[in-house]
C-alpha cells in the first residue's frame, strides 16, 4: 500500500483513497477518466449498460490497476468488494500532465491484463456449467491455499457472486451447483472453503 502512496506523493500527483467493507460497492464517475489501483483486498468489477445488463470484467487484488475511460458515456463500472479493500484513485489527465509513466504503474497494469484474460476465458465458455467450474478453478488458482485436500480462499464465494461473475441468474447457479455436487466434481463450496474431489489429479487450465 505504502509504495503507491510514496510514489505518487514524490511525483506530486493528487490521489484519493477509499475504504470498502465486505459487500460494499462504488460506481465510478461517468464523467472522468480514472486510474484505479487496488492497494489491498479483493474486488470484482462489472460493466453496466443502459439496459442494466452486467458484464463481468475482472476479479482484482493487490497492485492490480483498472484504467477507466469516459469514451462510452452510456455505460459505467461498478466495483464490488469481496473483502475489506482499500482502493486508490487518480485522474488520468493529472498523470499525463506530470509526464510520468512509472514502472509501478506499468507493472500493475500488466498484471491486470492477465486478470482480464482469465475473465474472458470464463465468459467464453458456452455452457453455464463450464463457466461456473472455470470460475471456481480460476479463483482457487489465483487466491486459494491448499490444506488437507481443501482450498481456502480469503472471501466467501456466494451463489449471488457466482451468478454475476458468470453472467447468469442465481437460480441457475443453484441448480448447476447441485448438479456439480451430484456428479461429485466438487464436494463443497461453503464459507471460505472449496473442497474438490481428487484435487491433486485435476488439470486446471
Q: What is the tens place of the pLDDT at every residue in 107-118? A: 666 678 888 888
pLDDT tens-digit map of 76-110: 888 999 999 999 988 766 665 555 555 456 566 66
Pairing of strands 34-40, 85-91: antiparallel
Place of cell 483486498: 41
Separation CA 41–CA 45 (nearest Å): 13
Distance, in Å, from the CA atom of 86 to the CA atom of 28, rounded to the nearest integer, reads 15
User: What are 200's three cell numbers?
Assistant: 491433486
Q: Which domains does the chain have, with CATH numbers?
A: 2-123 (2.60.120.10), 128-201 (1.10.10.10)
- Give 192-205 pLDDT, tens digit per residue: 888 776 555 444 44
pTM, to two decimals: 0.77
Beta pairing, strands 145-147 & 25-27: unpaired
User: CA 1, CA 144: separation in Å to the nearest integer?
Assistant: 21
Amino acid at each position: 500500500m505504502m509504495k503507491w502512496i510514496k510514489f505518487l506523493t514524490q511525483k506530486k500527483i493528487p490521489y484519493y483513497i477509499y475504504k470498502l467493507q465486505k459487500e460494499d460497492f462504488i460506481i465510478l464517475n461517468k464523467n472522468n477518466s480514472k486510474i484505479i489501483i487496488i492497494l489491498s483486498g479483493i474486488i470484482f468489477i462489472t460493466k453496466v449498460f443502459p439496459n442494466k445488463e452486467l458484464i463481468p470484467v475482472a476479479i482484482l487484488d493487490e497492485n492490480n490497476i483498472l484504467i477507466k475511460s469516459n469514451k462510452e458515456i452510456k455505460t459505467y463500472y461498478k466495483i464490488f468488494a469481496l473483502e475489506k479493500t482499500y482502493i486508490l484513485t487518480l485522474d488520468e489527465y493529472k498523470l499525463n500532465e506530470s509526464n510520468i509513466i512509472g514502472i509501478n504503474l506499468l507493472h500493475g497494469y500488466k498484471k491486470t491484463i492477465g486478470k482480464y484474460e482469465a475473465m474472458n476465458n470464463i465468459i467464453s465458455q458456452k455452457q453455464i456449467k463450464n463457466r461456473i467450474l472455470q470460475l471456481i478453478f480460476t479463483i482457487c488458482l489465483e487466491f486459494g491455499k491448499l490444506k488437507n485436500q481443501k482450498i481456502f480462499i480469503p472471501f466467501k464465494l456466494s451463489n449471488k457472486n457466482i451468478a454475476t461473475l458468470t453472467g447468469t441468474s442465481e437460480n441457475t447457479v443453484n441448480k448447476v451447483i447441485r448438479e456439480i455436487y451430484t456428479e461429485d466434481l466438487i464436494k463443497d463450496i461453503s464459507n471460505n472453503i472449496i473442497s474438490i474431489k481428487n484435487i491433486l489429479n485435476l488439470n486446471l487450465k
